[in-house]
Amino acid sequence: MALQNFKQPAFQHELAAGRLKLFAPNLVVWNERSTVCPSCTKVTPLLKNPACQHAFCEDCWVQTGESQLTRCQAECMLYASCLQCDVGMDERLWTYLGSQSEAIHIHHQALRSELSRFIHARQVFAQTPQLASPGPVCQFCGEHRLVLLKNTCGHSACERCWSTATEKQLLQCRRNFRTRGLCHFDACSCPMAEEIWRHVESLSPAVRNFSMENSKELQRLRANAEDAVMEAPAGMAGPTCSTCGNQHLALLRNPCGHATCEDCWKTFAEKQIPECQHSRRLRPHCFNPLCNDAMSAGIFAHICTLSAEVSIFADHVDRDVKRLQQTASEILMWASAPCQAGPICTICNERCFALLVNTECGHAACEQCWSIWVETQLPRCRDEKQPFLRCLGERCQAAVVASIWSNSCSCSDEVLGLERLFERRRSLQKNCLYPPAMQIDCPCEGCLGLGYRGFDTVMCFMCEHQWIADSGEPAATNMGELLDGELIKQCPKCGEYIMKNGGCDHMTCRCKHEFRWTTLKPWRGA
Strand, helix or coil for residue 502: coil
**87-94: average pLDDT:** 85
CATH number, domain 121-238 = 3.30.40
166 pLDDT more than 90: yes
Check residue 395 and give left, alpha or beta (phi > 0: left; psi -120 to 50: alpha): left
Residue 143 sits at the vertex; the CA angle it makes with 141 and 148, to the nearest 5 degrees, is: 85
**Cα within 13 Å of Cα(113), Cβ side:** 6
Instruction: Tell me the pLDDT tens digit for each residue of 391-415.
Output: 998 889 899 999 999 999 999 999 9
Q: What is the predicted pLDDT for the residue at 163?
A: 93
Residue 473: pLDDT band by 50, 70, 90 thresholds?
low
**237-265: average pLDDT:** 94
3 pLDDT more than 80: no
Kind of pairing, strands 514-516 and 355-357? Answer: unpaired
Where in the chain do CATH 3.30.40 domains reside?
Answer: 2-116, 121-238
Q: What is the predicted pLDDT for the residue at 477?
A: 54
Q: Among 91-105, 259-273, 345-359, 470-484, whose mean pLDDT is lowest?
A: 470-484
Q: Give helix 262-279 / helix 308-328 axis angle, nearest 10°.
A: 50
> Percent of the chain at pLDDT above 70?
89
Enter the pTM of the model: 0.69
Q: What is the predicted pLDDT for the residue at 139?
A: 87
> Percent of the chain at pLDDT above 90?
48
CATH number, domain 2-116 = 3.30.40
Residue 488: pLDDT band by 50, 70, 90 thresholds?
confident
**352-364: average pLDDT:** 94
Strand, helix or coil for residue 354: coil
Return the CA Rg of the chain: 46
19 pLDDT more than 80: no
Sign of CA dihedral 332, 336, 340, 344: negative
12 pLDDT more than 60: no
Q: What is the predicted pLDDT for the residue at 476?
A: 52
Instruction: Tell me the pLDDT tens digit for each residue of 251-261.
Output: 999 999 999 99
